[in-house]
Structure 1
Amino acid sequence: MRPRDLRAPDPDLRARWDALALASGAAPFMRPGWLGAWADAFGRADDLRVLTVERRGELVGVLPLLPGPLGLRAPTNHETARFAPVLADDEAATELADRLLAAGTTVDLGALAVESPATPALRAAAGRAGAPSLERPVCVSPWIDTTGDPASFLARLSKNRRHGLRRLRHRMADVGEVVLDVRDGTEHLDALLDEGFGLEARPWKLAAGSAIRSSPASVRFYTEAARWAAAEGILRLVHLRIDGRGVAFGYCLRQGGTLSFLKLGMDDELAKLGPGVVLTHHLVDHCCSDPELVELDLLGDSESYKADLASGTREQVRLQVFGHRLTGSAHRAALASAARLRAEAVSRMSDDTRARLSAWRNRWRPGGARVSASRSLTSAE
């Protein structure tokens, strides 16, 4: 691959990229509007490039990348829900992988969806090229099948979980009138985001530096992304209210048959009522009532409350390929050793020490690239 094979995403390419994403059923996180908001917020707009594959003049593959002194990497960070190239078919995945590794440099793809056809294609291309690779798990994200009615969802759960959900909902209803308020952002967007970001800025998240409001870059990202998503008709800002008071918040995207649940906030004063779990259950009911929605994607790590509700999971990995013929093997060995030592050191730390380390890194890591104590995007605790 030659440097000129990496293109800046001009308006024409963005339009073709977006059309391919919609036609292929790619997640909204891989559309140029979403990634453009990410690049603008985190200071990478001038660096963003794309590797493309065309077939008889038709765009069939797009992989966004950030070139750097150590090679090429995915435009991902702590706020990335999921990453994968946009592909028309498996043939495009193979060609894209071969062209990418032809660069003979390090390729670092974080938050890569294992289910994407690009993932096995990249593994195979690395094998053909004789390039060392390193693959590490990032997270396992739960999703909920919302086909059928709410009763069929409850029937899939354990008896204890069904009882627990009903108990929380009844307890909340005893406090006041409970309403699920779902907005598409076409009106009062700033006010809705301000209310939601306030609920998401829980004290422990602010202390750890992992709340949206902990970073001006994160606030800008989620605000600009919401404006783009609202214009596209896919934004869903969800507030669970008791007598009009917001007690839980969900930042969601609706595209195709999936409602993606990216961010969760709640009023900690009402923690005993389980507002995060109740909001999630209400979202299941919301999806079940809409025949076009087939799943609620919870994203983030498989925490206990998510695992109890989930119908299945999706894996994400960090895949690195070391294409330099002279230094690739040494580079891989060094990173693998460092990762192993880091994991061993963290496993010996107390929970308090890990939390303090996470907070320190979140405050001092440049460019807003925080590392939270948990990789999870949503937490109902």
Structure 2
Amino acid sequence: MHSVVDFEAIADLKVDGRSRAHGMTMRPAEVDPEAWHSLADTALEANGFLSPGHFLSLTLNTRQARLSRMLVSRGPLGINGLLPLTHAWHVLRLPVPALVLAQPYLPLGTPLLGTSDPVRAAGNLIDAANETGAALIGLGAMTQDGLVAQAFTAALSERGLKPFIRNAHERAGLSAEGDAETYLRGGMGSKKLKELRRLRHRLEDMGPVEFRVARSSAAVQAAIARFLALEASGWKGRRGTAFANDANDAAYISGASRALASRSQIEICELLVNDAVIASGLVLRSGRSAFFFKTAYDETFERYSPGVQLTVDLTRHLFDDPAIDRADSVAIADHPMIDHVWRERIAVCDFFIPTRKGPAVNLCIAAFDARYRARALAKSLITTTRTRRKPN
């Protein structure tokens, strides 16, 4: 039987005998939308995946996110911290008193903290989780050395605690400073760029080639429909992992795109030949950051590297956008394509936050470590099996 976490509990943080600020739990749909938008737009670290437009669509359309509850920190000026969590049993089938941010389509687990007294806000969230009965908070793919991690580490230190770091790695990022062409040459090299230009000329032999960005609500809705069809036509569709393979997933991304477009928080970039889309990418925007979320391409054009062509065009587009300073690829470590285009590296990790001292914390960490070992073994067995099946 799995351990019980009381999500209905409410924790008031007392400071010097007075209730200056507090943390609480509530359903995501109960959070004041304008306060949520305001925090997301000005957060200490941007996370477009925790904006209300994106996350509420997840809660409406995916079972795991539907079970989420929001930890909320309030300060003198209103909401200054938000963290959606789900019991580890519901998401990972781990029977331990832990809450996790590990939902489908959340490739960044950095909580939203306000810029005013983020350490206190982090502490409010920790104490609110503790009051639900949780001994540990697990944040998947959180920025490891950012300001939010520093705030939680400081809040833990005040409580005589330390975070646990697991699965630390780096993924590609972009710093959109300077000149795009100089940046691309520095990462890809002149030879590779020359080859891409040659392939571009071959595409132009077939008809007009255009890089197009959908921003308005109407344009985004039309572009997301094209994206769904393009993705389903490729290997993701055959594997069953395309959005269109699952009605709930398709409803989620369509709803999220609609909500995000209403606040100019999404762009859909497309590469077209003869007005037919051969590559498409979903880019979320939050604050001065962009997140290169999903891509799809027409496999009949694979010899022309449509995904790389799209990424290079997107890179130029981001450099030209004065509202964007940086971008996160949200890709796996050592990605074979974007690691050669975007030169910066973003350190991410699974960041575990104990809410108190005691054996329950050790039990939770031991369960997560066992899960990491089991996944590593399964991955090794799959790799070995595939290698043995390859013809000599």
- For the superposition of Structure 1 and Structure 2, which TM-score range results when normalised by the shorter chain? 0.7 to 0.9
Task: Among all aligned residue pairs of Structure 1 and Structure 2, give the percentage whose two residues are the same amino acid.
Answer: 22
Give the superposition deviation at 1:42. 0.8
Alignment correspondent of 2:3: none
SS in 1 for 2:293: strand
Alignment correspondent of 1:36: 56
- Compared CA separation, residues 312 and 189, structure 1 to 2 (3 A): closer
Alignment correspondent of 2:106: 80
**Aligned mate of 2:383, from 344, 347, 350:** 350
- CA distance in 1 between counterparts of 2:68 and 2:47 reads 19
Alignment correspondent of 1:205: 236
- CA distance in 1 between counterparts of 2:233 and 2:290 reads 24
The range that moved more, 275-284 or 194-203, is 194-203
- Compared CA separation, residues 272 and 53, structure 1 to 2 (3 A): same
SS in 2 for 1:303: coil
Give the superposition deviation at 1:190. 4.0
- CA distance in 1 between counterparts of 2:137 and 2:341 reads 36
**Aligned mate of 1:107, from 137, 141, 153:** 137
Taking structure 2 as the reference length, the TM-score comes to: 0.79
Give the superposition deviation at 1:149. 3.5
The range that moved more, 146-155 or 225-234, is 146-155
- Compared CA separation, residues 138 and 287, structure 1 to 2 (3 A): same
Alignment correspondent of 1:92: 118
Taking structure 1 as the reference length, the TM-score comes to: 0.81
RMSD of Structure 2 on Structure 1 (CA): 3.1
- CA distance in 2 between counterparts of 1:134 and 1:68 reads 16
SS in 1 for 2:42: helix
- CA distance in 2 between counterparts of 1:39 and 1:239 reads 28
Give the superposition deviation at 1:135. 2.6
- CA distance in 1 between counterparts of 2:267 and 2:300 reads 25
SS in 2 for 1:36: helix
Give the superposition deviation at 1:330. 3.3
Give the superposition deviation at 1:220. 1.3
- CA distance in 1 between counterparts of 2:351 and 2:167 reads 9
Contact 1:145 1:296 in 2 (8 A): yes
The range that moved more, 287-296 or 30-39, is 287-296
Contact 1:146 1:287 in 2 (8 A): yes
Give the superposition deviation at 1:9. 4.0
Give the superposition deviation at 1:10. 5.3
Pair 1:318 & 2:350 matched:
yes
Give the superposition deviation at 1:334. 3.9
Deviation per residue, 1:160-185 (Å, 9 max, x gap): 33333333323322332110121114
- CA distance in 2 between counterparts of 1:10 and 1:39 reads 9
Deviation per residue, 1:195-234 (Å, 9 max, x gap): 1111122442223332212222221111010010111122
- CA distance in 1 between counterparts of 2:77 and 2:174 reads 39
- Compared CA separation, residues 147 and 35, structure 1 to 2 (3 A): same
Pair 1:3 & 2:35 matched:
no
Contact 1:134 1:336 in 2 (8 A): no
- Compared CA separation, residues 56 and 44, structure 1 to 2 (3 A): same
- Aligned residue pair count: 355
Deviation per residue, 1:67-120 (Å, 9 max, x gap): 566445344323113122211237323542465154452322222222443324
- CA distance in 2 between counterparts of 1:78 and 1:293 reads 26
The range that moved more, 36-45 or 155-164, is 155-164
- CA distance in 1 between counterparts of 2:84 and 2:150 reads 18
- CA distance in 2 between counterparts of 1:351 and 1:130 reads 44
Contact 2:174 2:343 in 1 (8 A): yes
Pair 1:166 & 2:166 matched:
no
Alignment correspondent of 2:70: 50
Contact 2:214 2:268 in 1 (8 A): yes
Q: Which runs of 5+ in 1 are unaligned?
A: 357-381
SS in 2 for 1:285: helix
